[in-house]
Amino acid sequence: MNSMNCTARLFTFVAFCFVSLSVFADYSDRMKSRLSEVVTAKDSGSIGEGVDGFLHLRQPSDQAAGKLVDAENADRRQLFQYLAGKTGGSVDEVARKFSQGIATKAKKGHWFRKSSGDWVQK
């Protein structure tokens, strides 16, 4: 293999890694920046976690919480896709494991939506 071909492959690989990391950083940064808002909404009971790994609105009339849920879930979807690609698992498996991790670390009083649609409080 000539050095020009190796250099081109290395450049392509580095560019791919940089783009992958910057995409990861984008949604990761957004999730971090809204974390306190998510926790506050969970504390108030307006949103809760689902066994599917996504946030769910508990009070349909709360438009601000609805926008928060939509934004968080869009970023979680990207996170789950990224992690599924890294681990070789499915997006659903990653989301379920994420949900389980959230449930074990959740504060008392936070709400969880079971697969049946019923809500339970920790």
> Which tokens hold the place of 47?
């949103």
> Which tokens hold the place of 78?
């990207």
Residue pLDDT tens, the chain, 122 long: 444 454 545 454 444 444 444 455 688 889 999 999 999 999 999 999 999 999 999 988 889 999 999 999 999 999 999 889 888 999 999 999 999 999 999 999 999 999 999 999 99
The DSSP annotation for the chain comes to --HHHHHHHHHHHHHHHHHHHHHHHHHHHHHHHHHHHHHHHHHHTSEEEETTSSEEESSTT-HHHHHHHHHHHHHHHHHHHHHHHHHT--HHHHHHHHHHHHHHHPPTT-EEE-TTS-EEE-
Residue for token digits 């809500």? 119
C-beta contacts of 23-27 below 8 A and 24+ residues apart? 23/78, 23/82, 24/82, 27/74, 27/75, 27/78, 27/79
Rounded Cα–Cα distance for residues 64 and 46 (Å)? 10
| pLDDT given for residue 24 in this prediction | 54
| pLDDT given for residue 62 in this prediction | 86
Amino acid sitting at position 93: E
- Answering whether pTM is above 0.75, one says yes
